[in-house]
Amino acid sequence: MTHKLSARGWLALLTSVGLWGSGFVAIRMALPGYSPTHLALLRFLSASATILIYALIAGVRPPARKDIPYILLMGFISITVYHVALNSGERTVTGGAASMLVASAPIFSALLARVALDERLRVWGWIGIAISFAGVSLIAIGEGGGLRFNRGAFLVLIAAISTGISVVLQKHYLKTYNVTDFSTHLILAGTVFLLPFLPGLGTAIRHAPLEPTLAAIYLGVFPAAIAYLTWGYVLKRVPASIAASSLYTPPIFAILIGWLVLGEVPSALSIVGGGLAFAGVTLVNTKGHTPKPLDVSFYAVDRGD
């Protein structure tokens, strides 16, 4: 496998991280018209419709019967729990700050992998975790407007924890499924668990302004479905460890887009906290693991971006 991307590969990479970053802003645009649960359902109904069209064209393989219960579990954790928590948190947290909190997910994966997969951390890994937790705490305080913790920030942190759990669960299945097939299975599984929120969605759509509805559909078609497919294109052409380094860039796009579109800029304390969180995550994934770093190639599937 080559370590270099072609021009088409770089376009796919920039498309993925740019769309993920825009997703945090689009959530803020959609929330005035929808509850967090209705927004998650409408988003993934759109994503499922898009991914099913692709699956029919590309011939995506169905999952093995024995894997279906585990895929359903992962869909529930990484799609249903993640997006309901993220949407609820973004009622009070800016898109940029939310994206920085979600970027702390590799820390939770590292902690869980230590217990579940016996992946040992070096001293540098524990130092990185401490730095990241300090950064996450600063973001929570910064979004609270002072020395208090914002409830919305903790809901977004729950979303990050769900990502950490799902990544550990996914490691085994990524050995037998390619990213595109597994993304399809995961999106459909997560949508199934959002269906209990269907009552009232039709009424919400009829009464919502046009902008929130378009934002919800955009979230499903672009940051959810299309970005996952372009990410799969990238992963086929570079090692996962190299591609994964780009997963810390969506907050940059989220902050820029949020500033341009909504006039939102995270507080100075949140930006400092985000820098610390990224530094800690980078330290864990470069010097913290033995014998090899945790495979973070599939974090993108769990991001709300």
pLDDT, position 157: 82
pLDDT, position 29: 93
pLDDT, position 1: 43
Tens digits of residue pLDDT in 57-92: 888 888 889 989 988 998 999 899 999 999 998 888
Cα distances (angstroms) measured from residue 232 to each of 13, 71, 120, 179, 252: 10, 18, 28, 6, 22
- Residue 121's domain comprises 7-302
Cβ-Cβ contacts under 8 Å for 130 (sequence gap 6 or more): 280
Residue 65 lies in a domain: yes
- Any idea what DSSP says for residue 245? G
Residue 39 lies in a domain: yes
Radius of gyration for the chain, computed over Cα atoms and rounded to the nearest angstrom? 18
Residue 1 lies in a domain: no
Tens digits of residue pLDDT in 224-269: 899 878 877 776 666 554 555 556 667 777 777 888 888 877 677 7
pLDDT, position 39: 97
Residue 119 lies in a domain: yes
pTM over 0.75: yes
Report how far residue 107's alpha carbon sits from residue 153's, in angstroms, rounded to the nearest whole number: 17
- 3-state SS track over 177-210: CCHHHHHHHHHHHHHHHHHHHCCCHHHHHHHCCH
261: nearest Cα among 208, 211, 205, 209:
211
Residue 2 lies in a domain: no
pLDDT, position 243: 53
Residue 90 lies in a domain: yes
229: nearest Cα among 94, 7, 52:
52
Q: How many domains does the chain have?
A: 1
Bridge partners (DSSP) listed for residue 290: 120
pLDDT, position 255: 77
Q: Which residues of the chain have pLDDT under 50?
A: 1-2, 146-147, 241, 291-302, 304-305
pLDDT, position 38: 97
* Axis-axis angle for helices 123-143, 105-116 (nearest 10): 140
Question: CB–CB of 243/4 below 8 Å?
Answer: no
Strand pairing of 289-290 and 120-121? antiparallel
Q: How many CA atoms lie within 13 A of 124 on its CB side?
A: 12
Residue 82 lies in a domain: yes
